[in-house]
Amino acid sequence: MAVGIFDSGLGGLTVLDAVEKRLPDVPFVYFGDNAHAPYGVRDADDVYDLTTRAVSRLWDAGCDLVILACNTASAAALRRMQENWVPRDKRVLGVFVPLIEALTERQWGDNSPPREVAVKHVALFATPATVSSRAFQRELAFRAIGVDVEAQACGGVVDAIEEGDMILAEALVRSHVDALKRKMPNPEAAILGCTHYPLMQNVFQDALGPDVQVYSQANLVAESLADYLTRHPAMLGSGTEAAFLTTGDPKRVSSRATQFLRREIIFSAA
């Protein structure tokens, strides 16, 4: 009954932490492609190849359902995977859907025409690859009209977080928020479009100001997954053991992950 959680590095641990709390009886297998992180500076074909390789490994671990807890993979690879690669008995889901559900206040299964929503000015903070894909804007346009999205590519933030340099990460976040506000002085909402960014959510909120509603993915994804599994219980895979897998150095990755989640995490070689 295992479910796979994939990320290019450690950012997906924010999603893992939330889904474990929401679904304590489900074993999760986490796969971090740390040897190839970050994905945010790679081209779409490279991201696709790396993501399909990782998802195949999670299927081998008994996970019929895999969550791409990596916005870059969701933006650059997911649609292509779902259309041409994922077999009928497997599912691969991304992390944009729960964000758009929350922002537009409508369920993903609602296929009525796009309509106006309360929020008109949205700031999107994401990796360069996610921004260049325009995947978030494309998916949002299927559901809402009249929403102005200003995207800011946050170069360097993921690298700083992965290296544990939170002082540099904070400085970069504040710089990127300043750059965004020069383009959109008064956003009503902000999307943290990378699963690393919840670790800096308080910094984003402080830099944006108290009047901006900040949408972070972890809890939204957890609720969406719980609802999905209620509707599709057959998608719980055959795996029975929770695990942490990495393409990087297991000892080093375990140390970083333990710092992130403030509990002991032991990775094994993928």
DSSP 216: -
Separation of alpha carbons 10 and 249, rounded Å: 13
Active-site choice (194, 199, 208, 221): 194
Active-site choice (37, 70, 126, 189): 70
Amino acid making up residue 17: D
Asked if 70 is an active-site residue, the reply is yes
211 is annotated as contributing to ligand binding: no
Q: How many CB atoms lie within 10 A of CB 100?
A: 19
195 is annotated as contributing to ligand binding: yes
196 is annotated as contributing to ligand binding: yes
Residue 60 tokens, joined: 């081998």
Phi/psi at 262 (5° precision): 55, 35
215 is annotated as contributing to ligand binding: no
33 is annotated as contributing to ligand binding: no
Separation of alpha carbons 267 and 270, rounded Å: 9
39 is annotated as contributing to ligand binding: yes
Q: How many CB atoms lie within 10 A of CB 45?
A: 11
Annotated binding site for substrate: 7-8, 39-40, 71-72, 195-196
Annotated binding site: 7-8, 39-40, 71-72, 195-196
Which are the catalytic amino acids?
70, 194
